[in-house]
Amino acid sequence: MAKVLVLGDTHIPDRASRAPKALVEIVEKGAPWEFVIFTGDLTGEGTLNWVKNLGRRLYIVRGNMDYLPLKKTAVLEVGRLKIGVHHGDGVYPRGDVGRLTEIARSLGVDILVSGHTHADFVKVGFTGEELLVNPGSFTGVWGGGGSSYTPSFMVLEIAANAIIITTFKIKNTQLNKIVTTAYRRSDGVWVLEEYR
């Protein structure tokens, strides 16, 4: 089973000085991660250097607030699944399922990981054949379009066509975990089951 760390939208140092200690400890305890995905808007080279030390295979994309030499998209393969990474800027309204589905299809991926909303989600795309994943903001900072102000990140455990997605978030100073299982039916459609 492959483990994938997924985080993004830190905005350090322009909107936050650091991420919550409880989340940083979980991330650093799991290092080195087999795969690390960062959805953009690091905004500082210090954060980029920190992320580079977290794992073996890094997939970091440029956010709309980044001025770092990063690619706009990335594609990786984990087992039999193709995962695309895109910050999510240019999608209106932010996090729009239809537009994110189009991006996933244009990249030819089974799963699209995006950011930009600053609010975490796991959704099925319009065709049912794309899984849309957003880790939210690791620092919980404000962003345009209805941010959650809740610091969060995700860990994906991928086995064949099933994925266990654990969302870690700090809400009211408490660490919470939400576990979502995503699996593919024989017709290629993703099905989600959530456990709190």
Q: What is the pTM of this model?
A: 0.96
**Paired sense of beta strands 152-159 and 131-134, if any:** unpaired
- Whether the predicted pLDDT of 160 surpasses 90: no
Mean pLDDT of 3-8: 98
Helix (H, G, I), strand (E, B) or coil at 30: helix
Instruction: Render pLDDT for 175-191 as a digit per residue (tens, 0 to 9).
Output: 999 999 999 999 999 99
pLDDT in tens, 84-111: 999 999 999 999 999 999 999 999 999 9
Determine contact, residues 142/149, Cβ cutoff 8 Å. Answer: yes
DSSP lists the bridge partners of residue 55 as 33
pLDDT of residue 163: 97
- For the chain, give every domain's residue range: 2-195
Other C-beta atoms within 10 Å of 175: how many?
14
Beta bridge partners of 87: none
CATH class label, 2-195: alpha beta
Q: Given this model, what pLDDT does residue 147 score?
A: 74
Q: What is the DSSP string of 78-144?
A: ETTEEEEEE--TT-SSTT-HHHHHHHHHHHT-SEEEE-SSSS-EEEE-TTSS-EEEE---SS----T
